Structure 1
C-alpha cells in the first residue's frame, strides 16, 4: 500500500540533512583527493621519481574507494535493520575523526615509514564512512518525497560531492594563495583537514534532530525488516544490483577525470599553476550545484534512463574533445565545466535510479553495495590508470578511450535496470 501524503516539513528537513551531511563528508573526502594530487606525493612518498610519488599518493586515494564496500556492507545492513538515522550519525562521526587525524599526521621526513602507513589507515577509515553514508543519505530525502518528485529530492545527496569539492578546493586555494610555497607544504595544508571538526559538529546537530523516514517506520510497524539483508540482496536481487553497479561506473570515471586527475594534468603536463588548476575545478563544481538537482528534476519529467544516457554519451564524446583542445586555462576552464555538466546529467538521476532498483526492505543494503562496488571499479582505479597511461603514451587519448569504455558500461547498466517511475508504490512495499 502507498504511504500517506509526505509531510512537507519533514521532507525539507530530510533534504537539508542529506545535503549538509554528504557535503561535509565529501569535503573531508575531497580535501584528501586534492591534497593527494598537489602535495602528498612530496610529503609522504618522497623519492627521486615524481611519477612514483604521484602514483603512490593516488594509490592511497584508491584505498578510500576499496574500503567503501566494507562500509556499504556493514552500515548498509544496519540501515535496513536499525534505521537510516542512527547509521548516518555513525558514518559522519567516523569520517570526521579520520579526517582530523590526517591533519595532525607527521610527514615522512618527521616519522619515516610510519607516516604513510598511518595515512593509508586513516584514508581507509574515511572510505568505510563514505561507503555507509551514500545509501542512507539518498533514502533520507527519497523516502520522504512523492514518487513523481523523487528524482529531484533524491538529488540532495548528489549535490553533496560538488559542494564538498567546492568547499575543499576553496579552502586549499585560499591557503595556497595567502601562504608561501614553503608554509603551505609545511603546515598550511593541515588547516583544511582540521576544519573538519567544526563542519562535522554542524552536521551532527542537524542529523540528531531528524526523524526516521516514513518508509522505515512502516517497515518496522509491519515487521518486514530483513534478518540478513546482504545475503538476501545477493540471492534475490542480483540483476538490480548488477544494473546499478554498471550504471555508476561512467559517472565515477568522469568525475575522477574532471574533478581529481585534472589537477595533476593541468599542473604537470600543461604547465599551469596550482591556483589555476584548482580554479577550474571550483568553477565546474559551482555549476554542478545547480546542474545536479536540475538533472534530477529532468529525470522526473523525461525519465531517469533518458537523461542518464544523454550524460553518458555526451561524457564519452567530450572526453575526446577535451584532450584535443585543452592546452591553456582559456580552454581548460570550459573543458572542465562541460565535462562536469555531462557528469551532472548522470549524477542527478543516479540516486533515484539506483534506489528504485531495490525493494524497500533491502534498499539501504542494495543501494550501498551498488554504490561502493562501482566505486572500486570506477573511481578507485581511474586516477591510477590515467597517470599510468599519460606517462606511458604521452597522450591524453588513451585516457579518453578509458572514459569512453566506462560510459559504454554505464549504458549497459541502464539497459539492464528497471524503469520503475511508473510503479511508485514500490518505494514502500515489497514487490511480493
Structure 2
C-alpha cells in the first residue's frame, strides 16, 4: 500500500483534528518553554541567583535558558528513535507530560533566600527536563501534521505546529502581562510570576485530551504494515549517509533561531525594561509589545506555510531571510531610541522576517529525509539548529553588551546569522511535493543540494 493510496482514506475532519491537535499541543509545550525564558530575565536573575550582581546575574540566568538547548539533542535522539519505531503519537504524549510537569514544579520552587544554592540547582534540573522534552516534541508534531496532509498542502498543514510556537509565546507573554497588572511591582516578584507556571498543569490536561483523539501518521502505519527494517538504527544511518544535509539544514534553522530568540529567549524583555539600562521602559509596556509581536510572528508563520505550497520552500526562505536581516539591523538602533512606538515597530517588522523563515520549516524538513529515518532526521536537525542558533543567543547578546557597552556587536551578530541562513537555504534544492511514502526511499535519499545529481 502506498502513501498515494492511503491519503484519500483520510477524511477532511481527521486532517483538521490532526492540525488542531499538533498546533494546540505545541502551543502548550512552548508556552512552558518561553515562559521560563521570559521570567529568566525578569525574575530568576534576582530571586534564584542571589549572590551574583548586575550584568553577571543576567548572563548566568540567560545561560540557564541556553543550557536546556544542550539537552535537546538527547530528547531528539530518544524521540526520533522511538517515533520511527513506535510511532509519532506516543512520543507526543510523553513529551507533553514531561514539559508540563517540569513547568508546574518551577512554579512552586523556593527561592535562593529560602533554600540557598539548591534553588538554582533545582531550577537548572527542571530546565534540563524542559530541554529534553522540547527536543522530542517538535519532530513528532510536525510529521503528524505533514504526513497527514495532501501533497499540495504540506506547507499549510505543516505551518500548524509552527504556528503553535509563536502562539506559545503569545500565550506566555499575555499571561505575564495580565499578572503584571494583577500583581504589580513587588507582588509580581513575590508570587505573581508563579501563577503562569502553575497554570501549565491545566493546559497539559487540555493538550492530553485533544491529542488522545488523533490517529497515528499514515506514513508510519504504512511502514509498520510493510514490516520494513531498512533502518535498524536510524541515528547511525542518518549520520553515516546524511551528515552534510543535517548540518546545512540545521544552519537554516539557526539563522532564524538566533534572531528569533532575542524575543523568545527573553533578552529584549530584560534589556528594554532594565531600570538601570539605556532604555528603561515600563515592564508591562515591554511585555505588551512582545505579546503583539508574537501575534504578527504567528500570522506570518502561517502565511509562509501557505505561500510555500505555491512558490516553494526555498524561495519563501530566501525572501524571509532578506527581510529578517533588515529587521535585525534595525532592531537595537530603534529600541535604543527609548520610544515605545519604536519598540513596537521594530519587533513587529522583525517578526515578519522570522515568520517567513519559520513557517515552511515543517514541510521542508519532512521532504529532506527518507521515510524510515524521517523522525530521527527532523528531530536531530532541529535540535542541532537550536543549539547553533537560539541556545545561547540571549546570553551572547548580554555578554556582548556587558563587554562593549553598546548593542552594535549584537546587531552584527544577528545580521550575520541571517546571512548564514540565507546562504544555506540557497544551496538546498527545492523538493516541494516529493513523495513521502516508504516505497519512494531511493528518490527521497538523493538530490538535496543544487550542486548534486538528482
The normalised TM-score by structure 2 is 0.92
1:240–1:358 Cα contact (<8 Å) kept: no
1:97-134 CA distances to partner (integer Å, 9 max, x unpaired)?
A: 11111111110000000110000000000010010000
Structure 1 residue matching 2:215: 3-state secondary structure? coil
Equivalent residue for 1:308? 317
Q: Identify which of 272, 275, 284 aligns with 2:293.
A: 284
Equivalent residue for 1:320? 329
Equivalent residue for 2:113? 109
Relative to 1, partners in 2 of residues 1:427 and 1:336: Cα closer, same or farther, differing over 3 Å?
farther
Structure 1 residue matching 2:440: 3-state secondary structure? coil
Q: Identify which of 236, 250, 253 aligns with 2:258.
A: 253
2:65–2:391 Cα contact (<8 Å) kept: yes
Task: Specify every segment of 5 or more residues in structure 2 that has no aligned partner in the other structure, as ranges.
Answer: 444-454
1:319–1:404 Cα contact (<8 Å) kept: yes
Task: Specify every segment of 5 or more residues in structure 1 that has no aligned partner in the other structure, as ranges.
Answer: none
Q: Identify which of 358, 364, 367 aligns with 1:356.
A: 367
Find the aligned partners of 1:233 and 1:189 in 2 and give their Cα distance. 42
Equivalent residue for 1:9? 13
Structure 1 position 271 matched with structure 2 position 280: yes
Equivalent residue for 2:452? none
1:126-168 CA distances to partner (integer Å, 9 max, x unpaired)?
A: 0100100000010011000012110110011111111111111
2:372–2:438 Cα contact (<8 Å) kept: no
1:64–1:123 Cα contact (<8 Å) kept: yes
Equivalent residue for 1:332? 343
Equivalent residue for 1:299? 308
Runs ≥4 residues deviating over 6 A? none
2:71–2:131 Cα contact (<8 Å) kept: yes
Structure 1 residue matching 2:269: 3-state secondary structure? helix
Find the aligned partners of 1:333 and 1:106 in 2 and give their Cα distance. 35
Find the aligned partners of 2:301 and 2:439 in 1 and give their Cα distance. 25
Equivalent residue for 1:198? 202
Query: What are the within-5 Å matches in structure 2 for residues 7-406 of structure 1?
Result: 7-47=11-51, 49-225=53-229, 226-259=231-264, 260-268=266-274, 269=277, 270-326=279-335, 327=337, 328-406=339-417
1:242–1:413 Cα contact (<8 Å) kept: no
Structure 2 residue matching 1:262: 3-state secondary structure? helix
Pairwise CA distance, 1:425: 4.7
Find the aligned partners of 1:177 and 1:101 in 2 and give their Cα distance. 24
Pairwise CA distance, 1:222: 1.2
2:77–2:379 Cα contact (<8 Å) kept: yes
CA-atom RMSD, angstroms? Answer: 1.4
Find the aligned partners of 1:337 and 1:26 in 2 and give their Cα distance. 20
Find the aligned partners of 1:26 and 1:428 in 2 and give their Cα distance. 34
Pairwise CA distance, 1:394: 2.2
2:142–2:161 Cα contact (<8 Å) kept: yes
Counting matched residue pairs gives 432
Find the aligned partners of 1:159 and 1:210 in 2 and give their Cα distance. 19
Find the aligned partners of 1:137 and 1:181 in 2 and give their Cα distance. 38
1:11–1:145 Cα contact (<8 Å) kept: yes
Find the aligned partners of 1:284 and 1:393 in 2 and give their Cα distance. 28
1:316–1:400 Cα contact (<8 Å) kept: no
Find the aligned partners of 2:404 and 2:437 in 1 and give their Cα distance. 49
Structure 2 residue matching 1:295: 3-state secondary structure? helix
